[in-house]
């Protein structure tokens, strides 16, 4: 009975792991495309955490750097099912990624729809709000990986 009871939890963790890995890999790939690089620059160029980067590497370079970090996080999270330490590192990278993205919620233009007050989110606000769930998944998977590393 214990094995049957634990199977959905294992399947759920695997679904979360590969779902978030796919999202990070996809988002990372998109950062290599010029239209995505411009879109990211529209939010990140004037942000204190990234503003210094754009004069050094430009719009494309900054976007590619972000993309490499997202792809690395996705690969590590995917590997975390087999190697918990990889999942731990990838999960921490995912948490960092989504914490940074969510911090734009307080500074980016277009968070609230024109003519409305919060919680009337504009398109940028809606785009960023999904990261709340993605952050929660990364936290869950990071804690799971940490527990598996501690047991090893």
Neighbours of 130 (CB within 10 A): 13
pLDDT tens-place string over residues 47-100: 888 889 999 999 999 999 999 999 999 999 999 999 999 999 999 999 999 999
pTM, full prediction: 0.88
- Close Cβ partners of 2 (under 8 Å, ≥ 6 residues apart): none
Delimit the domains of the chain by residue range.
2-151
- R_g (Cα) of the chain, nearest Å: 17
Average pLDDT, the chain: 91
């Amino acid at each position: 009975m214990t094995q049957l009871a634990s199977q959905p939890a294992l399947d759920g963790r695997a679904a979360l792991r590969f779902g978030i890995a796919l999202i990070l890999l996809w988002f990372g790939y998109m950062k290599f495309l010029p239209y995505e690089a411009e879109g990211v620059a529209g939010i990140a160029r004037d942000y204190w955490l990234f503003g210094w980067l754009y004069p050094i590497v430009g719009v494309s370079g900054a976007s590619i750097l972000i993309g490499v970090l997202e792809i690395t996080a996705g690969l590590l999270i995917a590997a975390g099912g087999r190697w918990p330490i990889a999942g731990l590192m990838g999960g921490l990278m995912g948490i960092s990624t989504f914490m940074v993205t969510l911090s734009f919620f307080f500074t980016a233009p277009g968070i609230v729809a024109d003519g409305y007050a919060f919680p009337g989110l504009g398109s940028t606000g809606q785009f960023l709000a999904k990261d709340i769930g993605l952050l929660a998944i990364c936290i869950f998977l990071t804690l799971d990986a940490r527990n598996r590393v501690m047991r090893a």
